[in-house]
Amino acid sequence: MSEVLNVQQGMAAGAVHHDGHHHHETFVSKYIFSQDHKTIAKQFLITGIIWAIIGGLFSVLFRLQLGYPEQSFPILETFFGNWAKGGQIQPEFYYALVTMHGTVLVFFVLTAGLSGTFANFLIPLQVGARDMASPFLNMLSYWFFFLASVIMLSSLFISTGPASGGWTIYPPLSALGEASSGSKLGMDFWLVSMAMFIVSSLLGGINYISTILNLRTKGMSMTRLPLTIWALFFTAVLGVLSFPVLLSGAILLLFDRNLGTSFFLSDIVVNGQILPNEGGSAILFQHLFWFLGHPEVYIILLPAMGMVSEILSVNSRKPIFGYMAMLGSLFAITILAFLVWAHHMFVTGLNPFLGSIFVLLTLLIAVPSAIKVFNWLTTLWRGNIRFTPATLFAIGFVSLFISGGLTGIFLGNSTIDIHLHDTMFVVAHFHIVMGVASMFGMFAGIYHWFPKMFGRYLNNTLGYLHFWVTIIGAYLIFWPMHYQGLAGIPRRYLDKRGWVSFNQFPELDKMITIVSIVVFAVQLMFVFNFIYSIFKGRKVTNKNPWGANTLEWTTPLRPGHGNWEGEIPEVHRWAYDYGKDGREFIPQVEEIGEGESKH
Amino acid sequence: MATTTVHQTKWWSGGKSPFNMEYGKLMMWYFLMSDAFTFGAFLISYGSIRFSQNFWPDPNVVFNAFPGAGHANLPLAFVSVMTFILIISSVTMVLAVHAGHKGDKEGVIKWMFWTIIGGLAFLGCQAWEWHHLITGEHAVLVDGKIDLIGQTMGGNPWGDLVEDNTALTAALNNTSHETLVHLAHEYPTGGTVVAMEALEKMSDGQLAGMVDITHAHIRETGPIAFGGYFYGITGFHGFHVFSGVVINIIMLIMTQKDVFKNRGHYLMIEKAGLYWHFVDLVWVFVFLCFYLI
Amino acid sequence: MQHPAFEEVTVHHHHEDDATFKKKVRKTTILLSIITIIELAIGLTIYTIHKGESPNALLVLMFKGAVCILTLAKAYYIVSVFMHLGDEIRNMIMTIVVPLMLFVWFIIAFIADGNSYKNLRNTYDKHFEETTMPAKHHKAEAAPVENKGGKE
């Protein structure tokens, strides 16, 4: 194996390799503290899947409460004890569930699990590198994520419970231990875990950027990069520039909690006593949070967008429509993502003039988003589409991105947002456009690259079942929520029965709950498919099972550390020569033939 | 770098770094970029809070002490010493990196040594300044009485000057014995200093009459966030200086042990240098935000 | 010097000879020192203006603006000469400089909202205004006038 490493760019892949020792790989160095980007990708993926199950389970639990607030489920008491006294989900438990569902899904599943997995797996393979620029820091990136996971997971077992002030952890609720049981030790754990997570994403991010810039193989110019790589590149840029701002906010919040400072606190009365904290601004925290929080949405979305572009092109056997336009819109989205954060804060008392600038910038995002949607549709148009599960999930992504994107235009307007803020409409919007859509992108990626990852196929029949139940379920769950939101039903309410106007659709809530249980069960079926197929799936016999052009399909069936035996192939064309000159596909490594038409 | 080569090379065509820069240095640059956003977020939050206040202390009033100079009013003097220490240590770092380019081991050792000394000197200055601010107590009018408080995370003695002498005289009646003794000792009417022991035996009423209220410069309490941001940001910067010193010491030992000589290049020194200059760069902005404006 | 360990580095870095280098470093050091001294002088000027009878807010603001510009100049020299960014390829410089542009909107929005928060509180929270507005301002601005200057 190390012979492979010493060839060519293996030298550049990190100081660890140049010693030329033949190190024998033990179980620990191969599967645990591995520096191979492919193994690290799998570690991210499996940790992400575990988190997804936990986070999904949380949502089923609080859906039970929302659908059946009057009913008691004795089994819950068996499992959760006092948190579900008498089989009823207690308020503290409910808020902990909602908070942890958001935190886990946004950060641990859709950031680390999605971009951690696919950036690690695809960047070296698709740009033509032996490994990441620094495999060692890449390994550290995973282990910091693991540390963050352990801390977050252990916060679930604190007697006062995990953080429960919402995934946005707004002060003063999050800043005062007296405010709620979830604001006690659980909140400190949350902040420390997030600091570890930020270190992880930073180590990953600078590695991804440097690899894409520095370690492209010969001939792989920037405009020959697959769109996946571009999307992952911009994702890394977003992460590197926005996560530190949350780090600052988290540190200041830790100070407010433990050192008596007043960054975010002012004029607070607890039990009739005025706290000494004065002069802080709770809005400031929201600014800091959303300076990360909004780019975070795109950190989640962009990798999905990139993979969808690739998968749609490969499976419709057509070049991606408007490569440069796609690239330009990715760039525009990245820039705009940094400029629009305060559209989450229209009702905080934000200066209305400032708010209107944020409205303008927010609505601008519709332009690159629409360009991307049209390009996906035109890529599919008249294509010779192969409906693999990956293709279906990619098409599902486009569908969800349109549905959720349109409601974004509503919410981006401050005047409408004042009515819709903190209602179920918002929940519906962001779940469709960023939650479920990115999940679909992730599924598409898993189905598409599973053969490269594990040398076996996922079961197709289960894949189709997975897709259809999930897409129908997703719409059945989230579509009605728009109407609930328009009717003024707020989010985060434990029990709506006390209000006539909020208690308008109890039957709808029951339906949503039932569907979400079904959808969750189908996700478990996917996890079963995943684990089963790793060991027992149909074996891949063809190096290039999808007939794709990109470099990862030129590697051996089960590539070792270093990816290519012998030299790294040179690249002679872009990644999207499908259906050109009467040929189904022309891999990037093939030289431009004489008299070949231009794309 | 010769410009002709730059134009002839197809930098972006793959197989090479488009910036002609090894990945480690590139990663260091982007890490520093990220760190710039951490510091930026701190300083911008500070700005946001400052703009949301009606009153903010004048830095020249807060930072006017110098070690060994007692109560002399020397605004900006000490911090300018700190600033020059950092600038000079940056220069020695540049020289260390330059020596590294030439493969001059002795030069690297010499200049790294001075850089480390500079970093330690800076940290020492910061420790003194913090200590002085935290323990240096100032008379403040709070809730109708006079208290002595230092500059801490949760308290700020640098509010607006109280010019209402009747309010101050009234406040003296509610002030604790200890504080009165201190005030009468520091600011005696007529300027005749009475020994502490004698003052301690006097009654509160007597003491209140002995305090020269106009010279005591009694203030209201100031915005609490002032101290939090000051200690938070200079502390975070100090932590960077500290880790920079640790990195530099490691580099020094590695140089001493010929690690870089055997490797054939001193590029690690260059990366450590980038970090060190960044620390200096951040100080330039901390200096601006806390001491100058 | 050769860097055989890094294949991606294809053009050998050309380093100036000792004399030019030393001259450049000396020049930059002196420049940074002079700028710092000017900054300190302005800081002390602001101090004396503040001590005076009726401080001219506009003059103070202009001095503060000047210090900000001088600081940016210092930052430029540190990054360009000490960190050798000026010697890198143009595109490399751009990848550092362009993202820093985000600070423009970052600063404007945060500062503007901080200022707006103050105005809101002064308008609707009389207790806040009474307890935090410095006494001199109170007399000068008996009527609730918007505090345009922002800074104290």
In the predicted structure, residue A176 carries a pLDDT above the cut 50: yes
In the predicted structure, residue A2 carries a pLDDT above the cut 50: no
Indicate the range of A426-430, B237-241, B242-246, C86-90 predicted with least confidence: C86-90
Helix (H, G, I), strand (E, B) or coil at A90: coil
| Mean pLDDT on A85-99 | 94
Predicted confidence band at B8 (pLDDT cuts at 50, 70, 90)? Answer: low
Instruction: Please tell me the distance from the alpha carbon of residue B108 to that of residue B259, in angstroms, as a whole number.
Output: 13
Q: What is the pLDDT of residues C84-99, one digit of tens each?
A: 999 899 999 999 999 9
In the predicted structure, residue B66 carries a pLDDT above the cut 50: yes
Predicted confidence band at C29 (pLDDT cuts at 50, 70, 90)? Answer: very high
> Between chains, do A284 and C110 touch, taking CB under 8 Å as contact?
yes
| Mean pLDDT on A94-102 | 96
pTM of the model: 0.93
Predicted confidence band at A156 (pLDDT cuts at 50, 70, 90)? Answer: very high
Q: In chain B, which residues have their Cβ closer than 8 Å to the Cβ of A284?
A: 45, 48-49, 52
Give long-range contacts, CB 8 A cutoff, 24+ apart: A19-27.
A25/A1
Tell me whether strands A273-274 and A269-270 are parallel, antiparallel or unpaired. Answer: antiparallel
> Between chains, do A283 and C106 touch, taking CB under 8 Å as contact?
no
In the predicted structure, residue B42 carries a pLDDT above the cut 60: yes
Q: In chain B, which residues have their Cβ closer than 8 Å to the Cβ of C113?
A: 48
Q: What is the pLDDT of residues A360-387, one digit of tens each?
A: 999 999 999 999 999 999 999 999 999 9
In the predicted structure, residue A554 carries a pLDDT above the cut 90: yes
Query: What is the secondary structure of C86-133 as a DSSP string?
Result: GGS-HHHHHHHHHHHTHHHHHHHHHHHHHHHHHHHHHHH-HHHHHHHS
Best residue in C117, C121, C123, C126 for a mutation probing chain A (most A CBs within 10 Å) = C117
> Between chains, do B20 and C50 touch, taking CB under 8 Å as contact?
no
| Mean pLDDT on B228-244 | 96
Q: What is the pLDDT of residues A20-67, one digit of tens each?
A: 444 567 888 888 899 999 999 999 999 999 999 999 999 999 999 999
Instruction: Please tell me the distance from the alpha carbon of residue A320 to that of residue A376, in angstroms, as a whole number.
Output: 8
> Between chains, do C112 and A351 touch, taking CB under 8 Å as contact?
yes
Q: Which of residues 199-228 of A touch B (CB under 8 A)?
A: 202, 205-207, 209-211, 213-222, 224
Q: What is the pLDDT of residues A417-431, one digit of tens each?
A: 999 999 999 999 999
Instruction: Quote the pLDDT of residue C135.
Output: 73
Which residue, A380, A408, A397, is CA-closest to A471?
A397
Q: Which of left, alpha, beta for B159 (phi over 0: left; psi -120 to 50: alpha)?
A: beta
CB A91 within 8 A of CB A82: no
In the predicted structure, residue A247 carries a pLDDT above the cut 70: yes
Q: What is the pLDDT of residues A280-290, one digit of tens each?
A: 999 999 999 99
The percent of residues in chain C predicted with pLDDT above 90, rounded, is 59
Predicted confidence band at C5 (pLDDT cuts at 50, 70, 90)? Answer: low
Best residue in C25, C35, C39, C50 for a mutation probing chain B (most B CBs within 10 Å) = C39
The alpha-carbon gap from A72 to the nearest alpha carbon of chain C, in Å, equals: 46
Q: Amino acid identity, residue A418?
A: I
Predicted confidence band at A293 (pLDDT cuts at 50, 70, 90)? Answer: very high
The alpha-carbon gap from C4 to the nearest alpha carbon of chain A, in Å, equals: 9
Q: What is the dihedral of CA A283, A289, A292, A293, to 10 degrees?
A: -100
Indicate the range of A2-16, A70-84, A276-290, B232-246 predicted with least confidence: A2-16
Going along chain A from its start, the domains and CATH numbers come out as: 2-18+34-313+325-577 (1.20.210.10)
Q: Amino acid identity, residue A286?
A: Q
Q: What is the pLDDT of residues B130-163, one digit of tens each?
A: 999 999 888 898 888 888 999 998 888 988 888 8
Instruction: Please tell me the distance from the alpha carbon of residue A592 to that of residue A594, in angstroms, as a whole number.
Output: 7
Q: What is the dihedral of CA A186, A191, A194, A199, to 10 degrees?
A: -140
Instruction: Please tell me the distance from the alpha carbon of residue B60 to that of residue B76, in angstroms, as a whole number.
Output: 6
Instruction: Quote the pLDDT of residue A11.
Output: 39
In the predicted structure, residue C141 carries a pLDDT above the cut 50: no
Please, what is the average pLDDT of chain A? 92
Predicted confidence band at C150 (pLDDT cuts at 50, 70, 90)? Answer: very low
In the predicted structure, residue A124 carries a pLDDT above the cut 90: yes
E-strand ranges in chain B read: 138-142, 145-149, 219-220
Selecting from A133, A247, A287 the residue whose C-beta is nearest the C-beta of B38 gives A247
Q: What is the chain A residue with the closest CA to C100?
A: A241
| Mean pLDDT on A115-134 | 96
The percent of residues in chain A predicted with pLDDT above 90, rounded, is 87
User: Count of CB atoms within 10 A of residue A322's CB?
Assistant: 17
Instruction: Please tell me the distance from the alpha carbon of residue C30 to that of residue C25, in angstroms, as a whole number.
Output: 9
Q: What is the pLDDT of residues B76-92, one digit of tens each?
A: 899 999 999 999 999 99
Cα distances (Å, whole numbers) of residue A447 to A37, A125, A126, A527, B272: 19, 17, 17, 12, 43
- Angle at CA of residue A513, ends A159 and A428, nearest 5°: 95
| Mean pLDDT on B185-198 | 81
Predicted confidence band at B204 (pLDDT cuts at 50, 70, 90)? Answer: confident
In the predicted structure, residue C103 carries a pLDDT above the cut 80: yes
The alpha-carbon gap from A171 to the nearest alpha carbon of chain C, in Å, equals: 16
Helix (H, G, I), strand (E, B) or coil at A579: strand
